[in-house]
Amino acid sequence: MDRAWIPQIDRRKCTACGDCIERCPTGALGMVAGKAAVIRPDACTYSAICEAVCPVGAIELPYLIRWDDSESDPQDGS
Amino acid sequence: MCMASADPGFSLADRLGHLPYFRALSPARVDALAHHAACRHFAAQETILVQGEHHTGLWVIESGQVKVFRLSADGREHIVHLLGSGESFNDIPALDGGPAAAHAVALTPVIAWMLPPDALIDALRADPDLAVAVIEILTGRMRELVQQIEDLALCSVTARLARYLLKQSDSRAPNSPAITRATLAAHLATTPETVSRALRTLEQIDAIRFDRHEIAILRPDLLHAVAMD
């Protein structure tokens, strides 16, 4: 699937309060043309803090649900 | 409206032939059916269908993600289906000619094909195996809806989430749509905050693991136990 796995910011909802930029632990977010934007996508660690702090629900993180084949041993309770 | 796919490797006949509806049809019949279909492109967030309006035809997604949902009187959204490449929607109106049972919106850029009801009905009349396949699919959908009603009425959000994740693991679809907390919340009839708490609960018991943008299902047996709560 060809897509960027970065926070999706709805520019129409964004009020430019800057909370997400301030709280992002890796500095992946910044202000572009008066709205929050992912300015360093490689730095994003998907902490989801931006999504949680956005007061207007303008930020969403898309997830892919997948089966984990590497350690799905039902007998292993660890 | 375009008549050809944007992807030269895409074959509508191939894609239709893999849909549960049309598996019973011979390749020649599927090919004939595909000739009646028309292609449309939708931008992300563009509306495809409006609930209550008459949109005839069976839609088949070539690429992209489609959200099928209903809106309550106070504007709350309940997602009925999240669909991806090769899946179909507007099945019921395509067969009974009635209004759309739900809204459909493109979540990403979408290329989709619309099969007119006349072509579908003609194919059903010509092929009893196809008619049986359609009955099986519709009865399966009815069972799913009854299950959804039970889930909403009787199960906790964590149990509903576990069931949803199990369904994903059952299908093991290679191109399953990406999902956000808000989308999950709309699907499970709850809030994103409650979904976050439920996800954390499942992570704490090691049923799932967050791996950056992936939610890895580690222990379907544990999910199953939670889903039965």
Instruction: Give tens-digit pLDDT for A5-49.
Output: 899 999 999 999 999 999 999 999 999 999 999 999 999 999 989
Scan for tokens 């579908």, then name that residue: B120
Q: Give the pLDDT of residue B2.
A: 46
pLDDT-derived band at A1 (thresholds 50, 70, 90) equals very low
Take residue A11 and report the two structure tokens written for it.
């520019």
Take residue A29 and report the two structure tokens written for it.
């977010």
Interchain contact, B216 vs A1, CB within 8 Å: no
pLDDT tens sequence across B186-216: 888 888 888 989 999 999 999 999 888 889 9
CA distances from B82 to B122, B166, B169, B177 (A): 29, 15, 15, 7
Pick from A64, A69, A70, A76 the residue to mutate for testing the B interface (most B CBs within 10 Å): A64
Q: Coil, strand or helix: which one is A55?
A: coil
Residues of B in contact with A62 (CB under 8 A): 178-180, 213
Question: ipTM score of the complex?
Answer: 0.75
In sequence order, the β-bridge partners of residue B39 are B2, B113
Q: Coil, strand or helix: which one is A41?
A: helix
Rg (CA), chain B: 19
Pick from A65, A73, A76 the residue to mutate for testing the B interface (most B CBs within 10 Å): A65
Q: What is the mean pLDDT of chain B?
A: 85
Half-sphere exposure of B109 (CA within 13 A, CB side): 5
Mean pLDDT of B72-81: 82
Interchain contact, A5 vs B212, CB within 8 Å: yes
pLDDT tens sequence across B90-115: 988 998 888 998 999 998 899 998 99
Q: Give the pLDDT of residue A2.
A: 39
The model scores a pTM over 0.90: no
Question: Strands B88-89 and B58-63: what pairing?
Answer: antiparallel
Min Cα–Cα distance to chain B from A28, Å: 14
Mean pLDDT of B165-181: 71
Q: Give the pLDDT of residue B43.
A: 95
Separation of alpha carbons B33 and B5, rounded Å? 16
User: In this predicted model, which residue has the larger pLDDT, A41 or B4?
Assistant: A41
Interchain contact, B216 vs A66, CB within 8 Å: yes
